[in-house]
Chains A and B, each alone.
Chain A
Amino acid sequence: MSNNELKNTGNFKNTGMQAIIGWILRTGVIVSVSFVFAGGIIYLYRHGHSKTAFDSFHKIPEFISTTEGVLQGVLNGRGQAIIQLGIIILIATPVLRVAFSVIAFAIEKDHLYTIISLLVLLIIVGSMLTGRIG
């Protein structure tokens, strides 16, 4: 079904914007899952015969508890760090979509929705910054 000839409201005036949003979401998922998969292979190769200890909650390994630690672990080829990087990219994917919406609405001079998108972005950033408190 081609909708290019149909004028669609409730969306961007320019259907190119929707195509970009679709692209961001798809690419984000593909890239992140590739990291998760690659990291998973390394992790299983090294720890496949270890015992699991997920029955009670204790913090995840120290080396993947900070962004710097994750990146350092990726450079050292550690499986869990590579998986965690994939997860971070996956979580960032919808956030990137919101960030792009801010720009797209601004380009279309839709001021109301530029502010609304910006507000959603700020709530997520606020959630990220206060996530450790409490």
Chain B
Amino acid sequence: MSVIIFTVILLTGSYFAGLLGSLTGLGGGFIIIPLLTLVLHVDIHYAIGASIVSVIATSSGAAAAYVKEGLTNIRIGMFLEIATTIGAFAGALLAIYIPAQYIAILFGLILVFSAILSLREKSMQISLQESPLAEKMKLKGSYPDQGKLIEYGVTNVSGGFFMMIFAGLISGLLGIGSGALKVVAMDNIMRIPFKVSTTTSNFMIGVTAAASAVVYIQRGYINPGIVMPVVIGVLLGALSGSKILMQSTSSTWLRWLFAFIITIIAIQMIYHGIQGSI
């Protein structure tokens, strides 16, 4: 395949990856890696490298807006970034030793898990309860919602912290943002309100990805010819996605459609992983 055709295919595919990733909140990495490995037959390590760079771009772009709106809890983010960066560093080192086929299988499994999570009803409950550790770490906060300020407390900080080490590990190992795992840690374990947990998760994704990207770039996994169309495509797609999101609030059918697509991709990844043809 010539470089120009490869670039055009990848740019187009990355645009749709960014678009769907932004509409569902799952991020673009989920489509980028299967697109590169299954469709374009690129080595999985290059795919992980390109994906992690695109993750930094979309996360930073979106975080810039959320931080200004005051939805992000910067303290919770900074504190949990200790966990995610340690995990991401370990993950990036592990990725070097784990054979490509096991990475593909793990990728498929995390994909299915994230698809199921994306269908779950978001609980709107807000808890004021605060654990002693959360109080010590000054984690409670408040966020603006329709002109009012809503206060919330944080519980089970150590449980959330350990889940974040795992989220970081998966991010470093697979080159994805692992936003779904981060939201589990904050929503289900630490009982942080949905609006805060999603924006804070997004805030953390860039730093988490940077911790493994510094390993990948030194090992030659970040190839400019592959990253260039991926980053530009994903960013443009995410930008379109955020415009669509502002116009329509109901997107239940979209979530189902995406969960369906993702499950098919996941099965493909697992199948090729087991066959060793990746």
Contacts and interface: CB of A to CB of B under 8 A. Distances in A.
Interface of A: 1, 3, 6-12, 15, 18-19, 21-23, 25-26, 28-29, 32-33, 36-37, 39-40, 43-44, 47-52, 54-57, 59-60, 64-65, 79-81, 83-84, 87-88, 90-95, 97-98, 101, 112-113, 116-117, 119-120, 123-124, 126-128, 131-132, 134
Interface residues of B, number: 78
B2 A94 contact: no
Given A10-B142, A33-B235, A60 B210 contact: no
A18 B53 contact: no
Contacts of B226: 54
A92 B57 CA distance: 11
Interface in B116-141: 137-141
Q: Which 9 A-B pairs have the closest CB atoms?
A: A10-B141, A94-B206, A83-B224, A10-B73, A131-B215, A25-B64, A48-B4, A131-B218, A128-B214
A116 B217 CA distance: 26
A26 B42 CA distance: 30
A56 B42 CA distance: 7
B228 A91 contact: no
Contacts, number: 231
A61 to B, nearest CB: 9
Given A60-B222, A134-B93, A127 B144 contact: no
A120 B72 contact: no
Nearest to A117: B78
B145 to A, nearest CB: 9
Interface string B42-61: 11011000000100110111
Given A29-B64, A87-B227, 20 more contacts: A7-B142, A7-B149, A9-B141, A9-B151, A11-B70, A11-B72, A15-B70, A22-B64, A39-B228, A43-B3, A44-B7, A47-B225, A49-B2, A60-B224, A91-B210, A94-B210, A112-B137, A113-B79, A117-B78, A124-B210
B141 A124 contact: no
Interface of B: 1-4, 6-7, 40-43, 45-46, 53, 56-57, 59-61, 63-65, 67-70, 72-76, 78-79, 81-82, 85-86, 88-89, 92-93, 96, 137-144, 147, 149, 151, 196, 206-207, 209-215, 217-229, 231-232, 235
